[in-house]
């Protein structure tokens, strides 16, 4: 396997782990796995090790998302599925080149176009596996969709975006805003809240925004 071949998780439970990708993007480990989900969780951790600016991002998104689901009085099973979805939402980024992920300046249009492929890469990795819930698959593919259709990869609007996706989208955006990135400093807590409020009803579900702000106010 070469980097430009864009290796995916394979259907027969063989998985390409880009363990050395973090350092030199040349060596790959091929491993037979019994518990596919454990490996996916490991991949989620690998992604964050590639980029120290995103360390802890997936767990924070998952924790926020589960709190929203709990406030909505969803079942424990559904809350757990939404937590899993939050953990795995960015796994497609393992296939985005490090020079893009770690770039210290603003991305070019072509580079951003490549970053926008990560939901598809992640979805392709998990779509055929029965151990992964439909909820998680939807979140991985659609967490950058917006209510007004301005998101990606499909430009879905309104009811085409499932509740779990709407939940994780708010949490993902807030955590991204409140943590440093190579190309920008984090927004303050209050500024990030104002951004979420500004996008209420356009990018984000208004009722879920209200629940999320209530959770943040009780931190």
Strand partners, 181: 184
* 123 Cβ contact partners less than 8 Å away, ≥ 6 residues apart: 92, 137, 140, 141
- Backbone angles phi and psi of 200, in degrees to 5: -65, 125
Question: What length is written for the chain?
Answer: 219
List, as one string, the DSSP characters of 7-56.
----TTSEEEE-TGGGTTS---EEEE-S-HHHHHHHHHHHHHHH-GGGTT
CA pair distance 133, 185, nearest whole angstrom: 35
106 burial via Cβ count (<10 Å: 0-12, 13-18, 19+)? exposed
Coil, helix or strand for 208? helix
E-strand spans in the chain?
14-17, 29-32
How does 169-181 read in b/e, with b if 16+ C-beta sit within 10 Å? Answer: bbbbbbbbbbbee
Q: Is 185 a catalytic residue?
A: no
Q: Which residues are catalytic?
A: 93
């Amino acid at each position: 396997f070469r980097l430009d071949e864009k290796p995916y998780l394979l259907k027969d439970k063989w998985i390409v782990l880009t363990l050395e990708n973090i350092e030199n993007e040349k060596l790959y480990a091929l491993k037979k796995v019994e518990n596919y989900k454990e490996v996916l969780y490991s991949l989620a951790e690998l992604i964050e090790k590639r980029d120290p600016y995103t360390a802890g991002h997936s767990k924070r998104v998952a924790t926020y998302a589960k709190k929203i689901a709990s406030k909505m009085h969803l079942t424990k099973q559904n809350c757990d599925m939404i937590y899993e979805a939050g953990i795995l939402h960015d796994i497609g980024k393992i296939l985005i080149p490090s020079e893009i992920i770690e770039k210290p300046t603003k991305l070019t249009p072509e580079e951003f176009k490549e970053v926008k492929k990560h939901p598809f890469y992640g979805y392709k990795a998990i779509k055929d596996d029965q151990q992964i819930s439909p909820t998680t698959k939807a979140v991985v593919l659609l967490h950058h969709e917006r209510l007004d259709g301005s998101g990606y990869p499909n430009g879905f609007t309104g009811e085409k975006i499932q509740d779990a996706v709407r939940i994780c989208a708010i949490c993902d955006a807030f955590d991204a805003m409140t943590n440093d990135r190579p190309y920008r400093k984090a927004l303050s807590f209050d500024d990030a809240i104002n951004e979420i409020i500004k996008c209420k009803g356009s990018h984000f579900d208004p009722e879920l925004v209200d629940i999320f702000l209530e959770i943040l106010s009780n931190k």
